[in-house]
Amino acid sequence: MVVGMTLLLAIHLCYTYPSLASWKIPTSLGTAAPQNATAISNTPVANDDLPCKKLVGGEDVLVVMRTGATEIKDKLPAHLNSTFQCYNDYIIFSDYEEGFEGHHVHDLLADVENDVKETHPDFALWRRLRENGRESLDDSELSGAVSRESGSVGKMGNEGWKLDKWKFLPMATRTLDMYPDKKWYVFVEPDTYLMWSNLLDWLHRLDPTESLYYGSEVQIDKDIFAHGGSSFVISNPALQKAAKLYQENAADWHALTSAHWAGDCILGKALAETGTPLTWAWPMFQGGNPHTMDFKETKPDGRNLWCAPALSYHHLSPSEIESMFAFEQEWLRVMQSHKEKSGVAPGYISWRQHERMRIHHQDVFRSYVLPATATGERHGWSNLSPDLRAGTQNSTLSKCRNMCENSRGCVQYALADMGCFFSEEGKLGQAAEGVQAGWLEDRMRASADEHGVCERKVMSWTVT
């Protein structure tokens, strides 16, 4: 097996992109996954055997998970079974203090001024939780496993969302109270996947003594801040300044929070006021799900998603978190095996080999998404093909496929009540009742190959 994996990597480093040798199609791809799909075991790997445990630099980083009572039961266990096994230190913050599967969950809002907690309408859920616990929540209030976009002004009708915006500034102070000496603080949500191996590789190139703030940029009015769901990174000096500012003017910041809808924006304003503006770090930090996002996205300033190293993805379901974790661990096993068997000192590895050992967004598409589309047609599944062909309401999936094959540029097709849908962009998609989907495997791979080999300047970190 090791010989095969080493050979696979050697081919991979010569600019082809085969699937990982041991990668299996996870059951998370939908209840209607093809019969020939092989599931990844959901049994957690022994902690000491995980490749991520061999990585260096984790002792300098604290991972801060911000969650809430309405979602913790559905979304946190996936991390306890996967990503949390890699982190040296982490905190779980919520709006309700409790023990959860052997982990202490801290109430971030306990120290907010009493007059705010006891009277503000946003805290209605917090007051109910304080009195009756999580059992007081109705099923309709629970998030479930599906992660949905928040929209242009958040989920204003959701009690958990309205409460969440109050957590960001208290999160700065409580984090430092508990772990005052970490170099880096990484803030995540339960539907965020953090590419831990890449993150550690990237952070050791930065200066933690500087006041720094990194993330995927978002703007509300004149305020530019890091999108909370994509995860963001703050250095110790920067977090210290923001926490001090909040503690000295808590009432003013609470008034500002009350009038706003985005807590990540409030934190960004505090950081900016203390002299730490956001350093834009898209496309490394991503707000999209690999199953549904556009891997060919670019920005007017020339930043290219495809070739950049991946640091995070967002809006993943718990099963998708676990399957991404299995993918990253398998990638690390292949890379570590190659280095151990090659007998070549790290200093003699070429720059291209070194870059290829990182997980870039293109690698996620080629080695994670593509193999999942090559398993056959799916029922109860949408691959998000946007182009409806008129007059195809009574077609079959086979007829849709034929039309796709006869249409230049078409790489995937789907059938719904309205007819056949097609796309020239390949996406895996998501479960959907009443929809069938398929892909043209050769064209999907050829479409990815049209990008060619990424140049060194666009394969490395967009921020160093």
What is the predicted pLDDT for the residue at 458?
75
Domains of the chain with CATH codes: 2-314 (no CATH), 378-464 (3.50.4)
Q: Report how far residue 417's alpha carbon sits from residue 426's, in angstroms, rounded to the nearest whole number.
A: 21
Please state, rounded to an integer, the average pLDDT across all residues of the chain.
86
Q: What is the DSSP string of 14-50?
A: TT--PPPTT----GGG-TT--TT--PPP-SPPPGGG-
Structure tokens at 425: 């962009």
Angle at 381 between CA 376 and CA 387, to 5 degrees: 95
Return phi, psi of residue 172, to 5°.
-65, -45
What is the predicted pLDDT for the residue at 25?
36
Average the pLDDT over 385-402 and give the result: 97
Position 363 pLDDT exceeds 80: yes
What is the predicted pLDDT for the residue at 349?
54
HEC sequence for 149-210: CCCCCCCCCCHHHHHHHHHHHHHHHHHHHHCCCCCEEEEECCCEEECHHHHHHHHCCCCCCC
**What proportion of the chain, given as a percentage, has pLDDT over 90?**
73
Position 299 pLDDT exceeds 90: no
What is the predicted pLDDT for the residue at 390?
97
439-456: b (≥16 Cβ within 10 Å) or e: bbbebbbebbeeeeebee
Structure tokens at 56: 């260096």
| Element (DSSP H or E) covering residue 90 | strand 89-94
Average the pLDDT over 270-286 and give the result: 97
pTM value?
0.87
* Helical residues (DSSP H) of 209-317, grouped into ranges: 236-248, 250-259, 263-273
pLDDT band at 35 (very low <50, low <70, confident <90, very high): very low
Average the pLDDT over 322-335 and give the result: 94
- Condensed to tens digits (0 to 9), the pLDDT of residues 53-110 reads 999 999 999 999 999 999 999 999 999 999 999 999 999 999 999 999 999 999 999 9
Q: Report how far residue 257's alpha carbon sits from residue 456's, in angstroms, rounded to the nearest whole number.
A: 43
Q: Please, which residues bridge with residue 232 across strands?
A: 187, 215
Average the pLDDT over 368-391 and give the result: 96
Average the pLDDT over 187-191 and give the result: 97
Write down the residue that tokens 């998404």 correspond to: 369
Please state whether beta strands 213-215 and 192-194 pair in parallel, antiparallel, or not at all (unpaired): unpaired
Average the pLDDT over 287-303 and give the result: 92
CB distance 95 to 129 below 8 Å: yes
Q: Report how far residue 137's alpha carbon sits from residue 69's, in angstroms, rounded to the nearest whole number.
A: 9
What is the predicted pLDDT for the residue at 352?
61
| Element (DSSP H or E) covering residue 353 | helix 351-357
